[in-house]
Structure 1
Amino acid sequence: MNEINKNAHLLPNTTLSYIFANNADNEIGSCTGTMDVLFKRWSSPINYICVKAYRLMAIIGGLASLNSKEMPHILNIYKMPQLSYGSFDPALSDKTQFPSVYRMMPNERPQYVGIVQLLQYFGWTWIGLIASDDDSGESLLRTLTPQLLLNNICIAYKEIISTLKMLWGGRMQMLEMVERIGNILETMNANVIVVHGGSRSMAFLRMTLYSHEKVEMKPKEKVWIIMAQWDFVSVYPREIFPLKSFNGTLSFSLHANDVPEYEDFVETLNPNESTLYYIYWFWAYAFRCSFPIFKLYAHTANCTGKERLRSLPGAVFEMGMSGQSYSIYNAVYAVAHALHAMFSSRAKKKAKGVRATWNLLNIYPWQLHSFLKHIRFNNNAEEEIFFDANGELTTGYDVINTITFPNESIHKVRVGRLNPQATEGKQFTINGSAVVWHHKFKQIQPQSRCVESCRPGHSKIVRQGEQICCYDCAQCSEGMVSHLEDEDHCNKCPEDQHPNKNHDHCIPKHVVYLAYGEPLGIILASFALFLSLITLVVMWIFIQNQETPIVKANNWNITCTLLISLLLCFLCSFLFIGEPGKITCLLRQTVFGIVFSLAVSCVLAKTITVVLAFMATKPGNRMRKWVGKRLAVSVIILFTLIQLGICALWLATSPPFPEFDMHSQTTQIIVQCNEGSAAMFYTVLGYMGLLAIISFTVAFFARKLPDTFNEAKLITFSMLVFCSVWLSFVPTYLSTKGKLMVAVEIFSILTSSAGLLGCIFLPKFYIIILRPELNTRDQLVRKQYYAT
């Protein structure tokens, strides 16, 4: 009022005045007080205002929920603007029922969102809930409880506290209430308790905490989260304020900013000079002194008026502007700006020649509504003040951390902000590192959970019949992972990753193929190269000795073709080593099938040639005309072309291609060749096996022919080795995976090829190199003679 009346730009030549009335503690008192303010105070009968000196334009009040509806019902009759700074009753937001009510605080529902976000920020999932037994408490339970459950926050216990007046008649009932609350706080293991309710309903909680702290010397060391409905610091008498219990409290408070010169103004207050309502009563009991002139005997010493408010403990008086004080401050300014706007509007009409006057007798409270609804101004704290569509301020809430000290001093620190007008994601902010916790927690963030958190690598298993916050932990199964604490279920890693040992992180899989640089690749490549060199040596020896009888006797052309095909068999092993590509995948099995079919066809041609050559030696036998190069070449070309056609059909219909096998091994990505068509792959192998069986059969029946012309024994043994290798290859190949599968095929290629090379050519190589005396025409003729 002092600021406004001194402001030459706001309501010039107009003085605002005020009157105080008691905020009654019951509905009857509220009705009586309201009528007294409207009429009786001016000695006027009901519905008549006889005093013409000034108008009552608005009422500012902070009402408890019990009587918050009584005044509006009466004042709505007279369309009197009512600016409430203390009532959170949700019914007052109904503009149809209460059109004249303006609330100098935001809607309480954003607090519910703030509570959930605050609990989530600190990881508290197991909480207690204490609410008042009124409409506001019912609204809290109806709205907040589902939000808590939706965010996996459980209520360990829930206590509804009746208001003080309901139990005022029975001392025993009061003691039972205090005892019940104390037992709940003693037995429940939740470290965090959310409190919602007005100062009257929470009187029992304060009395309980005081009893445990001062009488039983067992302060309730909890984290109290107090909603804005209860200004828990403002306590009378100050002796029953439980300092230790409320140390480290977090509270949602009506938003307040520092107003310049406010503390200086408070410092000037003096009961001997001030006309503030009840200042003598407050002064006497705050400073424990007496005012005999007003018959106030609070203590033996008399009040001097020179006592300093700054010296009072924080539990008795706060020097800074509280949230409620800030709301009252803005309410007074809102009325002043609305009046100024109304007077300015009248002045404009007068300037235009419209009949208008500044006479206070011509203005009425209901005319102020249209200006209050649209008022928008910046206060002295440089904050914009305006009402939303529901007649409420949108200033939000502050999160206050209260620290108490043994000397009854209290320090309040703003550690967070709840601003519904902020952008999405920034509506709730908090500085957790600035919070001072109760000394019990030794400045370590308190925990409030039903059970210990499940570590990463585990998932939750809810206990049967208990709340979702009470659960057991199970380690993630093979191939599954959980990155965070308290995961509801484990998840699979991406295809190219696998879980680590603890199942709490995904790590990249190793790319695996049979490489030249690893031991197995080196061994197989060396083995293939060694056998290729041996084949070249054998070929060179045979070329050097092609005119000798033993080489001529075994069909040099077929022998040379067989040696070349065996060399290609050894060399095709290199197609299976190294990282598979498009070309290598196309060539691997087809080249292997063709060159092996060529080799087996050569063996079959040698076997048929041996048989026909023996039969041709008999007199009068017609088989002589079949003996020659054309038959052997025809056999080799025919059977090789058949395999070539199968491979061509394979490449045309479903060719092999490189692929990444991410599922066969948990920790590896296998780079392999997909055969495209398994049927064609096994057709190639089957055809090659068929040739080998035919060759083995023919050679087996021809094994007893005379030695001079006979390679059948050697071919029989070589085909036996060949068939044994490839028969054992199939089950072994199917039972292995990855690079071992490739290694099995390379080993089978090298072993079977080496069997053919060794069994067919080693005896001849032995004779040529070590027993040249046996490699003569006379020796062959002598053997022929004995054979006949």
Structure 2
Amino acid sequence: MLWGCFAASGTGNLQRVEGTMDSVKYQEILGKNLMPSSGDFVIGGVFSIHNYVNTPENNDTSQPKAPRCTGSLDYREVRFARTMVFAIKEINNSSELLPGVTLGYQIHDSCSFVPVAVKVIFQLANGIEPVFFQNQSCSKSATVHAVVGESSSTPSIAMSRILGPFGIPLVSHFATCACLSDKLQFPTFSRTIPSDYFQAAALARLVKHFGWTWIGAVRSDSDYGNNGMAAFLQAAQAEGICVEYSEAFHKTTPHVKVQHVAEVIRKSTARVIVAFIAMGELLALLSELEGKALPPLQWIGSESWVTNREMLRFHLCAGAIGFAIPRSVIPGLPNFLLDLGPAQVSHSPLLTEFWESAFGCSLGGIQTPPGLKPCDGKQNLGDLQNPYTDTSQLRVSNMVYKAVYAIAHAMHSIICTDELHCNTSIRVQPQQVMEHLRKVNFSRNGYKVSFDANGDPVATYELVNWQVKDGHMEFVTVGHYDASAPDGQVFTMKKNITWASGQPQVPVSVCSESCPPGTRKAVQSGRPVCCYDCVPCAEGEISNATDSLDCITCSADYWSNAEKDECVPKPVEFLSFHEVLGIILTACSVTGACMSIMVAAVFYKHRDTPIVKANNSELSFLLVFSLKLCFLCSLTFIGRPSEWSCMLRHTAFGITFVLCISCVLGKTIVVLMAFRATLPGSNVMKWFGPLHQKLSILAFTLIQVLICMLWLTISPPFPNKNMKHYKEKIILECDVGSAVGFWAVLGYIGLLSILCFVLAFLARKLPDNFNEAKLITFSMLIFCAVWFTFIPAYVSSPGKFTVAVEIFAILASSFGLIVCIFVPKCFIILFWPEKNTKKHMMGKMP
């Protein structure tokens, strides 16, 4: 592209090589310096002033022609170029910065096209004259000491790769690609605008802040768009955000590609679109989307377009939000921009073209488009409303302003010994400017300027919202982002946001609705993690937050509530006096005890009657007393189990029942002995008299007492929280402690019961009037049947019903004894007294 010298020496000097091209052709290739100005030191400027490039078709029969910038002017880029001129003139008139030193400038147009940008940067570096002197050495320093530009990342990358080996610093005002922070590839690159790395992190936080987890993404198919979107997607993934689609295109791609992207947006379910895109691509996309039936879309913009007034004509972007460069004020710049007249304009090809384009008239220039009327001299820039004259929100212009001042401060530190003396004879090398540029730290108009080791400034942004006021779209600052602030203060909001289609509520953009507390997210197969089903937590598990990934298992003493969002204490279950079952059993127990007292009272009142005397009144009274204890011991099984109640209920039950069975056994033996005593020559009754009967009952009972004492000593019963049978509640029960002791007590009762039943069965055929063997047989039959069925019922009954079965067995067997043995006698005593005679008892009555 360049026929000249571009080999770098160790000191950054450029060495000219011989060329053979004539001056006219050489000038044609290099192009024109749009805004030149001489000075002691020269700063280069590169801006994307035109929107398109004219690339001629070349062949092998003629000299190749250079591409030429053409098309409409970007008025905002013209403002950037003029801002650079303003800053340089302000520095030249300053007595504090570079006093006595004049800065010059050379401003070129790259039209955001890499080949043109490369051509321009070689021209700035080499300072090519139109005439070659073949016999003269061309070793000299670069023409410019630093370059300001470019507005796009891709041309800046190409420019920086060329300037890097020569040590010429490039300070960009609008190239944000994070890749440019790599000092191994771009050692001389710096910028006054933050890197996209910080913007991507800020956008991800913004999306997360408003609860959007399902978004679409469009980007420019360039270094800016691809690197910026890659950084954003990485940050978004860390925040748990999913991307439904990510489309890339360039403004030079076929129109069918733009149509495809527009169709993807129209058919998508995401209602939020993050656009990391340059203005040219976005203009093409919005033009394609206009007029289509679209749902309300919330646009999230990067700094490249979110404050560009040319975009305000697209009402489908109303409510858009995005991070922008902070708004600033540059005193004197608005007047400087408007202070232009035909005389000044005619000295610059760029300003001439700008004037003719803005007013639609001709100044008589060589390249004036045909058909324009001559300018009459009455044109006034103050009457125009375009991006050039709009100084209400100087954002990127301030970045240009700070870039020029940063270069000036670097040069001041090289050639100036103090604030009043500077030596213009010092030969300043670009490498020196680059080294001092990294060390600058100053404030201008209230804005700090400094660079880190990567040549990046501190990342600060304004959150801008597109709001409609009085029928016009405006940029409203609603928040701030400061990467240097402490955690928790990086992102702040200060105003309400107007959302897409003027909605006051934050739009919803999720693949799946949030899972409420009590459920967990289950990812749908083959879809992103943001697409999920809400699965209710299992029993005993909870989730107390929205969108829980897992359910939490409650601790052993707790259980999940009905909503599965809180662990509540498990209900403790035991047989209580206050519940229906407890009341019924208590009533039955008290009834049985009262019945025993009534029987004892009847027997005591009629103790001298034959029927009482004939049935061994002492054993009868002892049996009635033991039955009353049996009825009352069932009450110890009701109520909240405690350490003492657990020991009492089992031991009291075992001892009272053995006492009861011993009495019945004694009565049975007495019946058998009495029958034997009626036989001639029998003296068996002397071996089983009243004293022996009492001793036998005492002996049988003491054996059970001994078993209970051993049981309580070795491993007594104790209250236990049973959590195995039911997961949702705690069964408070009495653990038997030693199973051997428990079954030994029951086994001893069963042994006595079987013995009593066998003896009573043997005596069943004795005369009815003489003994009560049949009644005892029936009672023991009931007793044994109850306790034989008790065992499987006791083992299989759950919770408090285990205790209820045990109480039922006690009451049933006790009622069986008292009803079968005593009720018939009481009936005779009370209602059939004529049978309560000695003759009748002896069987002598007909």
TM-score normalised per structure 2:
0.76
SS at match of 1:127: strand
Q: Name the residue aligned to 2:771.
A: 710
Give 1:57-72 correspondences, 5 Å limit. 57-72=145-160
Q: Name the residue aligned to 1:436.
A: 498
Instruction: Measure the CA separation in 1 of the matches of 2:619 and 2:430.
Output: 123
- State the identity as a percent: 35
Closer, same or farther: CA 92–140 of 1 in aligned 2, 3 Å: closer
SS at match of 1:434: coil
Q: Name the residue aligned to 1:156.
A: 244
Give the Å deviation of 1:511: 3.8
Among candidates 328, 345, 354, match of residue 400 of structure 2? 328
Closer, same or farther: CA 715–362 of 1 in aligned 2, 3 Å: same
Instruction: Measure the CA separation in 1 of the matches of 2:411 and 2:605.
Output: 126
Q: Which amino acid aligns with 2:789?
A: S
Instruction: Measure the CA separation in 2 of the matches of 1:718 and 1:4.
Output: 123
Deviates more, 1:264-273 or 1:127-136: 264-273
SS at match of 1:717: helix
Give the Å deviation of 1:341: 5.5
Among candidates 196, 205, 208, match of residue 285 of structure 2? 208
SS at match of 1:224: strand
Give the Å deviation of 1:581: 2.3
Give 1:238-249 correspondences, 5 Å limit. 238=310, 242-249=313-320
Give the Å deviation of 1:50: 9.6
Q: Name the residue aligned to 1:187.
A: 267
Closer, same or farther: CA 13–698 of 1 in aligned 2, 3 Å: farther
Correspondence 1:754 to 2:815: yes
Q: Name the residue aligned to 1:252.
A: 323
Give 1:6-21 correspondences, 5 Å limit. 20-21=107-108
SS at match of 1:694: helix
2:200·2:229 contact (CA, 8 Å) conserved in 1? no
1:209·1:219 contact (CA, 8 Å) conserved in 2? no
1:220·1:245 contact (CA, 8 Å) conserved in 2? no
Closer, same or farther: CA 595–262 of 1 in aligned 2, 3 Å: farther
Instruction: Measure the CA separation in 2 of the matches of 1:147 and 1:429.
Output: 19
Give the Å deviation of 1:627: 0.5
Root-mean-square deviation (CA), in Å?
Answer: 4.2
Instruction: Measure the CA separation in 2 of the matches of 1:447 and 1:741.
Output: 56
Closer, same or farther: CA 485–650 of 1 in aligned 2, 3 Å: same
Give 1:404-483 correspondences, 5 Å limit. 409-429=472-492, 434-439=496-501, 442-453=503-514, 457-472=518-533, 475-476=536-537, 481-483=542-544
Give the Å deviation of 1:683: 4.2
Q: Name the residue aligned to 1:26.
A: 113
Aligned residues: 747
Instruction: Measure the CA separation in 2 of the matches of 1:220 and 1:711.
Output: 98
Closer, same or farther: CA 600–416 of 1 in aligned 2, 3 Å: farther
Unaligned runs of 5+ in 1: 168-173, 351-355
Deviations 1:293-322 (A, max 9, x none): 76778987878565548x847899461232
Deviations 1:511-560 (A, max 9, x none): 43333233333332233223223323333444444455444443344333
Q: Name the residue aligned to 1:393.
A: 457
Among candidates 684, 698, 710, match of residue 759 of structure 2? 698
Instruction: Measure the CA separation in 2 of the matches of 1:363 and 1:690.
Output: 119
Among candidates 632, 635, 647, match of residue 571 of structure 1? 632
Give the Å deviation of 1:270: 1.1
Deviates more, 1:691-700 or 1:441-450: 441-450
Q: Which amino acid aligns with 2:662?
A: S
Give the Å deviation of 1:698: 2.0
Instruction: Measure the CA separation in 2 of the matches of 1:299 and 1:647.
Output: 124
SS at match of 2:316: coil
1:271·1:280 contact (CA, 8 Å) conserved in 2? no
Closer, same or farther: CA 696–36 of 1 in aligned 2, 3 Å: same
2:318·2:466 contact (CA, 8 Å) conserved in 1? yes
1:224·1:246 contact (CA, 8 Å) conserved in 2? yes
Unaligned runs of 5+ in 2: 1-86, 133-137
SS at match of 1:728: helix
Q: Name the residue aligned to 1:234.
A: 308
Deviations 1:417-474 (A, max 9, x none): 444334445544557x8221111x7434323334555555555554444444444555
SS at match of 2:323: strand
Closer, same or farther: CA 243–142 of 1 in aligned 2, 3 Å: closer
TM-score normalised per structure 1:
0.81
Q: Which amino acid aligns with 2:156?
A: S
Give 1:776-787 correspondences, 5 Å limit. 776-777=837-838, 779-780=840-841, 782-783=842-843
Instruction: Measure the CA separation in 2 of the matches of 1:583 and 1:42.
Output: 113
Q: Name the residue aligned to 2:297.
A: 222
SS at match of 1:69: helix
Closer, same or farther: CA 49–391 of 1 in aligned 2, 3 Å: closer
Closer, same or farther: CA 314–661 of 1 in aligned 2, 3 Å: farther
SS at match of 1:320: coil
Q: Which amino acid aligns with 2:661?
A: V
Deviates more, 1:128-137 or 1:2-11: 2-11
Give 1:646-665 correspondences, 5 Å limit. 646-662=707-723, 664-665=725-726
SS at match of 2:246: strand
Instruction: Measure the CA separation in 2 of the matches of 1:718 and 1:139.
Output: 96
1:314·1:410 contact (CA, 8 Å) conserved in 2? no
